[in-house]
Structure 1
């Protein structure tokens, strides 16, 4: 199978592709190790430090196409990540063939692969799968994922049941408008996907699960990393104001116990829009600008703090 192209989500998260970024050496080593060992990366760190962005950086750097994003909740199960089957729609199509537009559709037309299921399709190159906020998952999901990661394949029971009549079926995938062919109801990966799982450290995982993962902790970005981020999104539009804005952001972040990097981008957008001026120290407009920043740079925990 051919790789799908990149999408707008990567540029929204990372900014322009030609702006150089300098990842930490530890990050490079662990990503390379995960690729060689075919092990998932468990990325931890404070909310807003850019954990999920790592998946998009890997996909862009290695030209692996669109990132498959699975946002995990307490209701997420292994099956929901693999596929969904519209059994009711299929039954209605079979019972009312004269009235249904789907009467001639095969079973595969009622199967929708999820991000996890799509990642395991036999692509020539590995797909990048982002399993976001896995610490919100049901207690059984980590162990269920272990078995899947070890095997590298799964079955789609509705397609297995009809394989004598439909040996090869076409199903919908998690890529917009894309389809894939499945033979005998079995999906087996060709290149093991690059799996990035993010966690805010809200729970502990089973020991067997932790042994299978490589853990990478993302620290708060420093001034240099924030400068690269702003430049990737806004180029040189801020000019000398960029250093002042980043300084104020870091000062505010220290004061309130941490801010998210996209909160800095929001402020940068206001400045580059031309609607707001980055006021200088000692001017009357400085207080108004500080009040605006306090509203934009609100603490992630929801509690108030002093002015920026």
Structure 2
């Protein structure tokens, strides 16, 4: 039987993703050959900060509902909100709970293009290899000089979805959202270099993002099977085309309230003491005056607990640790 919610917002990994109902008919994909996705929730152990963020993320009820809507509908989740509200951490938390393997991450800049996210091909290294082949080298095939990007890897025909974080999409140029929309709508793309080589190499073994393992690509075409869990984050610095917004599930995060902040502190640092609660109150009292990030509060509480500074020095230190983002700390008084 289908299960709602699949993502519960708890920190206990499980296989609830296998209980998703079939996708809507207009979001069904049939790519192959079917690949087995990594499921180990410790696969990101080489990045302790990401592992910690995933295990300590505290989702609101609205977040749980909209994550499940995106999973059920096989749609990207556009997460907007001020800096420091946990937009990128959400992707790691969902991947950990649902055992979707390591998160594929694509950090967007003003120079990012769709091609960057799909794959990278190095013709110069192939040319060098061709010259070396005169001396016996055998790695002149196109597939030996091509690696799939995070988006390209997420769209491989995995039996269960991968998690893809497209971070700070509002930093992209004007064309990327629409270019990205087309690929995510169709759930597929082509690699022209492999299409041209398909006569000689109908199945190319190419490297995927984040690993040295190779995956098969038939005739240069990739089509997903389980649509990936895609999180696109935005700080709200730009407007997106209506067609792009229409095809996303939109989650707007706000600064956490008193109870939610206490839960976050408890998850990271244990039960808040009297000084921590005082810092929480001061943090909340300043939220309306500018952008503040939750990790600023966590930094202040951590130092208060691990230093032996007197109370007045701790208050002065907190002032410097929690300035409004984008302002000169010297002009931002508590």
Q: TM-score, with normalisation over the residues of structure 1?
A: 0.87
Q: Which residue of 2 aligns with 1:261?
A: 294
Task: Tell me, in whole angstroms, the C-alpha distance in 1 between the residues paired with 2:150 and 2:110.
Answer: 17
Call closer, same or farther: CA 1:65–1:115 in 2, change over 3 Å. Answer: same
Q: Which residue of 2 aligns with 1:73?
A: 109
What is the CA RMSD across the aligned residues, in angstroms? 2.4
Q: Which residue of 1 aligns with 2:61?
A: 25
Q: Is 1:245 matched with 2:242?
A: no
Q: Which residue of 2 aligns with 1:281?
A: none
Query: How far is 1:104 from its partner?
Result: 3.0
1:271 to 304, 307, 316: 304
Query: How far is 1:95 from its partner?
Result: 2.2
Task: Map residues 275-294 of structure 1 onto 2, 5 A cutoff.
Answer: 275-277=307-309, 285-294=310-319
Deviation by residue 1:104-149 (Cα, 9 ceiling, x = unmatched): 3532121111111010011111111111111111111111112111
Unmatched runs of 5 consecutive residues or more in structure 1:
278-284
2:177 to 128, 136, 142: 142
Query: How far is 1:67 from its partner?
Result: 1.1
Contact 1:83–1:112 (CA under 8 A) maintained in structure 2: yes
Aligned to 2:291, the other structure's residue is in SS state coil
Call closer, same or farther: CA 1:265–1:13 in 2, change over 3 Å. Answer: farther
Task: Tell me, in whole angstroms, the C-alpha distance in 1 between the residues paired with 2:55 and 2:104.
Answer: 23
Query: How far is 1:18 from its partner?
Result: 6.5
Task: Map residues 218-237 of structure 1 onto 2, 5 A cutoff.
Answer: 218-236=253-271
Deviation by residue 1:216-259 (Cα, 9 ceiling, x = unmatched): 100101222222222322335x65543233233333445x5231
Equivalences, count: 296
2:132 to 90, 96, 105: 96
Task: Tell me, in whole angstroms, the C-alpha distance in 1 between the residues paired with 2:185 and 2:157.
Answer: 16
Contact 1:11–1:17 (CA under 8 A) maintained in structure 2: no
Task: Tell me, in whole angstroms, the C-alpha distance in 1 between the residues paired with 2:267 and 2:50.
Answer: 10
Q: Is 1:34 matched with 2:70?
A: yes
Query: How far is 1:11 from its partner?
Result: 5.4
Contact 1:119–1:128 (CA under 8 A) maintained in structure 2: yes
Aligned to 1:93, the other structure's residue is in SS state helix
Q: Is 1:205 matched with 2:240?
A: yes
2:49 to 9, 12, 19: 12
Contact 1:71–1:132 (CA under 8 A) maintained in structure 2: yes
Call closer, same or farther: CA 1:38–1:103 in 2, change over 3 Å. Answer: same
Call closer, same or farther: CA 1:138–1:18 in 2, change over 3 Å. Answer: closer
Contact 1:168–1:183 (CA under 8 A) maintained in structure 2: yes
Query: How far is 1:291 from its partner?
Result: 2.3
1:217 to 249, 252, 256: 252
Contact 1:44–1:216 (CA under 8 A) maintained in structure 2: yes
Task: Tell me, in whole angstroms, the C-alpha distance in 2 between the residues paired with 1:32 and 1:151.
Answer: 21
Query: How far is 1:22 from its partner?
Result: 5.2
Task: Tell me, in whole angstroms, the C-alpha distance in 2 between the residues paired with 1:52 and 1:159.
Answer: 33
